[in-house]
Amino acid sequence: MSEVPPAGLGRRLEPVFDALARHYGPQHWWPARHSFEMIAGALLVQNTAWTNAQRALDNLTAARALSVQGILDLDELTLQELVRPSGYYRQKAAKLRSFARHVRDEHGGELAALLSLPMGGLRRELLSIWGVGAETADAIILYAAQQPSFVVDGYTVRVLSRIGLIEGRTSRRLVRKWLMEAIAPDPRRYAEYHALVVRHGKAPCRKTPDCPECPLLAMCRYGGGVVLR
DNA sequence: GGCCAGGACACCA
DNA sequence: TGGTGTCATGGC
């Protein structure tokens, strides 16, 4: 696959996000009260509905364990039970513990010290933590560290390919590269764009021109929009 | 009962 | 680098 972005990508993205913003309004992402809650949510929501991740977060809050030290103080089985509603509960318990251990061992338990690293180094360090992949790392950088790393998830590829801006098989790594080249590095803008893509991605798509409520219908390949090759 | 949901990792070619 | 199997709960 060529690493050259589709022609006019930046110019074509603007009306897409404008239409989404007009239709859905401000998204106020990420729904968290503090950095560790945001990060725990990012780990718990992996391949899971947010409602399930929220249940696990509620359990951790009730157990007063929603912090680096709080996670470290729990025994493994108790932690697994608390996060069970989010699915993959053995893995997710291990991921929370892996992250908390890293902050303890490398930053003296100070999450702010990790999050204040420059973006490139922060991303490399996050990716070195077991359980943190590209999407989770970018979400943490964007929503917890408030630095401009575009979050590309399954919805991003699906939504952009549905309107013909990219091919459906384009790798997330490449889509992120193109979007970050095409959109000025503004963390607030990136945060809103990602939230809007997820919001729109969750909306049902009939894959026919019969979706008058779709804000992207005019540019959608199912609504007569031009498919960019 | 089947499918899907705001992925990541191990393993392999 | 890219493809596949695995991990698991809850809503529809």
Buried b (16+ CB within 10 A) or exposed e, A103-127: beeebeeebeebbebeeeebbebbe
**Distances A218 to A39, A84, A150, A192, A227 between C-alpha atoms, Å:** 37, 42, 25, 22, 12
Q: Closest nucleotide to residue A32 (Cα to C1')?
A: B6
Instruction: Note if the bond before A178 is cis, omega within 30 degrees.
Output: no
Q: How confident is the model at residue A218 (pLDDT cuts 50, 70, 90)?
A: confident
Q: Where are the alpha helices (DSSP H) in chain A?
A: 9-24, 35-44, 50-62, 68-73, 76-83, 89-107, 111-115, 119-127, 134-139, 154-162, 172-182, 187-202
pTM (2 d.p.): 0.96
The rounded distance, in Å, linking the Cα atoms of A201 and A215 is 12
Give the residue-averaged pLDDT of A4-20: 93
For the stretch A164-185, pLDDT in tens is: 999 989 999 999 999 999 999 9
Q: How far is the CA of A177 from the C1' of C6 (A)?
A: 29
For A81-128, the pLDDT digits (tens) are 999 999 999 999 999 999 999 999 999 999 999 999 999 999 999 999
Contact, A173 CB vs strand C, < 7 Å:
yes
Q: Of all nucleotides in the shown strands, which has a C1' nearest the CA of A48?
A: B5
Say how far A121 CA is from B11 C1', in Å. 28
- Please choose, from the candidates A99, A104, A61, the residue with its C-alpha nearest in 3D space to the C-alpha of residue A82: A61
